[in-house]
Amino acid sequence: MTYLLLTVTVMAFVAIYAFLMRHWMVAKPLVGTAAVMLMLTAIFDNVIIATGIVAYDQEKISGIMVGVAPIEDFAYTVLAIVLVPSLFNFFRTKL
């Protein structure tokens, strides 16, 4: 299984969840959060990959890179940006 296939599978479930929970999410704060989180992901992923702390099997990544970081790494940041606030708001009203 490639990282891209795994990422697309997880993103499909999160997209369905986000669609169902869209009334719990406020878009405006997510834009600023996304900008900061994606910038931090770009910086720190490149550092940990360039220093050899993390390595990827080149045959399992898509080949699309941001510096030395595969684009698949950024998908998990986007997923966190969508999931964390909506889950927080959902459970805040339930607890």
More confident residue, 18 or 55: 55
Tell me what pLDDT residue 95 has.
64
Q: What are the residues whose beta carbons fall under 8 Å from the beta carbon of 74, sequence distance 6 or more?
A: 38, 41, 42, 66
Rounded Cα gap, residues 64 and 79, in angstroms = 19
Q: Residue 90 has which token pair?
A: 């959902």
Among 20-24, 30-34, 45-49, top mean pLDDT goes to 45-49
At 66, which helix (H) or strand (E)? strand 65-66
Q: Residue 43 has which token pair?
A: 């910086």
Residue 44 belongs to what domain range? 3-94
pTM here is 0.76
Give SS3 for 65. Answer: strand
Total tally of structural domains belonging to the chain: 1
Give SS3 for 56. Answer: coil
